[in-house]
Chain A
Amino acid sequence: MKNASPLGIAGEALLLAVLSLVLAGGVNMFRPHPLPYVQDWSATIRERYADREFVDLAEAQRLWLTGEALFVDARDAGSYAQGHIPGALHLPFDAFDPDMATRLSALPEDRLLVVYCSSISCGLSHEMAQNLDFLGYDKVVVLAEGFVGWQSLDAPVEQGPAAGGEVSP
């Protein structure tokens, strides 16, 4: 048996919570690279791909309406079937697939390609665009907001697996 501190369990919890808060703030102040209290995460993710060209939702919708771009869906088959941008090609991006480069090469080089995946925190579209860049494609842009962003537009969506299967050479 040991004696309780006079604080009681809630008091102890509160003390520890406050102590942690003080330490967290205090230590952060003295770090060489403190974590900012406020950070625009969408911008942070974008900056990482600074050389990548992006389209915003409005531009993506315009490109879709005029038909001048080919949309490429980088997500897995299940997600694609649940809903995708109408007319989008299905090319699931798999960094570990040894045939990935061959698959990507099946995409036309003369069309503007708009690559997307699920949302702003999804990296598949950026990776695919980077790979396409290495393969010499120069008309590639990324819709960073992804399918989640497209759905927020009240724009039409298509469901079901790709009519001709996945893109293949």
Chain B
Amino acid sequence: MRLVTVVPRVVFGLLFVWAGAVKIADPHAFAETVFNYQILPDVLVNPVALYLPWLEAVCGLFLVVGAFTRGAALVLCTLMLVFLAALGYNFHRGLDVACGCFSAGGGESDLAANILRDVTILLLGLLVLAREVRVTRTAPPELQP
């Protein structure tokens, strides 16, 4: 396994293990963050807040150890797209997520920074996904169970 394939995969995976772990450590705080995004109906806030961090951490972990990497990378890239859509939507309506206030002016620079950060992460994820798909050979039909 070449370093140029392993390093991005492990880095990307660790990012999500860490991100997931932080949220798993304090589910109530994360649930309130999800609520403050004002995107999901109230009844979905807690289930999503409960599930998402585990999805992040589990997929991140599998990427780090190098198992089920295609699926893990796919899930995480999809998640990043969803997060970006949520951020973009709130940017568009001027919602300052930290405070939950709608503001015409301030708060937008934070959102812009977050969007930029997440786009970078998504690009890394797409790179990892592409590489994992390429280096994983599907066995010829006669050898499959």
- Residues of chain A at the chain B interface (Cβ within 8 Å): 1-17, 19-21, 23-25, 27-28, 31, 33, 35-42, 75-79, 81-82, 117-119, 121-124, 148
- For A5, give the chain B residue with the smallest CB separation: B68
B18 to chain A, nearest CB (A): 16
Contact between B28 and A11, CB atoms less than 8 A apart: no
Q: How far is the CA of A78 from the CA of B108 in the complex (A)?
A: 13
Contact between A4 and B136, CB atoms less than 8 A apart: yes
Contact between B104 and A76, CB atoms less than 8 A apart: yes
Contact A9:B71 (CB < 8 A) given known A3-B137, A117-B101 = yes
10 pairs from A and B in contact (CB 8 Å cutoff):
A2-B137, A13-B74, A16-B58, A16-B75, A33-B28, A77-B105, A79-B104, A119-B100, A121-B36, A121-B38
Among A13, A42, A79, A121, contact of B103 (Cβ-Cβ < 8 Å): A79
Q: How far is the CA of A10 from the CA of B101 in the complex (A)?
A: 39
A17 to chain B, nearest CB (A): 7
Q: How far is the CA of A7 from the CA of B75 in the complex (A)?
A: 15
Contact A148:B50 (CB < 8 A) given known A2-B135, A9-B133, A13-B75 = no
Q: Is the interface of A mostly helix, strand, loop or mixed?
A: helix
Among A3, A12, A28, A78, contact of B70 (Cβ-Cβ < 8 Å): A12
Q: Which residues of A contact B101 (CB under 8 A)?
A: 75, 79, 117-119, 122-124
A90 to chain B, nearest CB (A): 13
- For B100, give the chain A residue with the smallest CB separation: A121
Q: Which residues of A contact B43 (CB under 8 A)?
A: 38
A36 to chain B, nearest CB (A): 6
B140 to chain A, nearest CB (A): 11
Contact between B72 and A12, CB atoms less than 8 A apart: yes
- For B97, give the chain A residue with the smallest CB separation: A121
- For B62, give the chain A residue with the smallest CB separation: A16
Among B50, B100, B104, contact of A28 (Cβ-Cβ < 8 Å): B50
Q: Which residues of A contact B28 (CB under 8 A)?
A: 33, 35
Interface set, chain B 40-92, CB cutoff 8 A to A = 42-43, 45-47, 49-51, 53-55, 57-59, 62, 67-68, 70-72, 74-75
Q: Which residues of A contact B53 (CB under 8 A)?
A: 24
Contact between B105 and A76, CB atoms less than 8 A apart: yes
Contact A7:B102 (CB < 8 A) given known A20-B54, A24-B51, A33-B28 = no
Q: Which residues of A contact B45 (CB under 8 A)?
A: 39, 41
Q: How far is the CA of A3 from the CA of B99 in the complex (A)?
A: 48
A16-B59, A41-B35 known; 4 other A-B pairs, CB under 8 Å? A6-B145, A16-B55, A79-B104, A121-B100
Contact between A35 and B35, CB atoms less than 8 A apart: no
Does B139 interact with chain A (Cβ within 8 Å)?
yes
